[in-house]
Amino acid sequence: MAAKNTIKNRINKILSKVTNGLHSDEYWKPVHEAFKSLEQAGYHVSIESSEYRHENGVMVDKKWLYNVSAEGYVFYGVLTAHGAGTVKDPLSKYDISAYVS
């Protein structure tokens, strides 16, 4: 069994690889790929919630809260798609930050 920090670092490394760069799709494809990549690496992912954040009536980001179970440990994660598009449609392009702790 690997140490807890080692597993956490492995998970965060997977997340950083699949969420890199700007994205522009309507279906959150890289978000789903991030969770799928963790599952394919042998980790169990449970999405607890997701919600949009609005400013002045405009959606500016979407945040997912999730858990990752691995080798008897549970890690709590946050994945956020940050609007990087236009003023009128910030989520037409987005950048992703994701991590577990």
* Beta bridge partner(s), residue 70: 73
Domain count, the chain: 1
pTM: 0.93
> What's the pLDDT at 26?
83
> What's the pLDDT at 99?
97
> What's the pLDDT at 88?
92
Query: What average pLDDT does range 93-99 have in this prediction?
Result: 97
Question: In this predicted model, what pLDDT tens digit does every residue of 20-70 receive, in sequence order?
Answer: 999 998 899 999 999 999 999 999 999 999 999 999 999 999 999 999 999
Q: How confident is the model at residue 1 (pLDDT cuts 50, 70, 90)?
A: confident
- Give the integer Cα–Cα distance in Å for 76 and 55: 26
Q: The domain containing residue 71 runs over which residues? A: 4-100
